[in-house]
Amino acid sequence: MSDADVATAEAGAVVPRPSPAGMYDYYLGGAASRPIDRVVADQVTSFMPEVIDAAWANRGFLRRAVRRMAAEWGIRQFIDIGSGLPTQRNTHEAVREVPGCRVVYVDHDPYVFELGNEILAGVADTALILADLRRPEEILGHPRTRELIDLDRPVGLLMVAVTHFVTEEDDPRGLLARYRDAVVSGSYLALSCLTIDNQDRPSAARAGQVFTATVSVPVARTKPDIRRFFAGWEIVPPYDGAEPDVVHVGLWGAEDPAMADSEGSRIFFAGVARKP
């Protein structure tokens, strides 16, 4: 944060709230974050440096899952909810080598919407809409969604690092069921979520305090809770030789799971599932 921003805050004036997307971009080495995003991100990394590894592991999961959907499972249309734009290594880039893919990004943050549209200007077969995960019918019925996505054909539904911003009061499992019921058999869901499992370290508590004071507060969940997001879907094995289940985010699609495991990766659980 600049000296001017600090002075403004001390004077009691309104300063921008940090954006989780801007912080995510900063962790990934991007250039789209604002001063307020960077100062809060630096606060977190000062006592929880593994958050940078977690961001990279989570983004790697997205790219591996999307590529497999497109290259191996024949998915050509994707709805990326909680897109994280303007961050790095986005869905449309991950499927660039597979002809005929179309992507609709969804985010409820006006900051993301503004910068994301700048990034997507001139990019064919992509769109970004301003909408809320908690309103499935609004997203699926949006004119841009209808323009690019044929809901009579299989869809890749991406909810990567977004469901932990949905509280229990908003019934996240009920929301997932509404999305599941709206897509056809053969569609896929890729989802990652913060976990509370083994996160009893003081650094995790301090990170929670920072988020409480500044940005949307993420809801970390247990592995069984995250697995329940996939009710009605068939979870696919995360890597060769594994049982169908959710795993720490770095392990999904890993060629060498032992090498892919890391402290940052264990901050998230992730899974991919097919609608039967």
Question: Which CATH number belongs to the domain containing residue 145 in this structure?
Answer: 3.40.50.150
Closest CA to 263 of 243, 253, 249: 249
The answer as to whether 37 is a domain residue is: no
Is 41 within a domain? no
The pLDDT value given to residue 4: 37
Q: Could you report the average pLDDT of every consecutive run of 10 residues in the chain (276 residues)? A: 38 62 85 86 86 91 96 97 80 91 93 87 93 96 97 97 92 96 98 85 58 67 96 97 96 90 91 98
Range of the domain at 157: 51-274
Residue 58, token pair as written in the block? 């989570």
| Number of domains comprising the chain | 1
CB 185 within 8 A of CB 107: no
**Is the residue at 86 inside a domain?**
yes
Its pTM stands at: 0.88
Element at 141 (helix H, strand E): none
On whether residue 32 sits in a domain, the answer given is no
Radius of gyration of the chain from its Cα atoms, rounded to whole angstroms = 18
**Does residue 42 lie in a domain region?**
no
Which of 34, 33, 35 minimizes the C-alpha distance to 1? Answer: 35
Peptide bond into 86 cis (omega under 30): yes
113 part of a folded domain:
yes
Which of 179, 53, 155, 61 lies closest to 104 in space, CA to CA?
155
Report yes or no on 255 lying in a domain.
yes
Contact 230, 223 (CB under 8 A): no
Cα distance between residue 190 and residue 232, in whole Å = 14
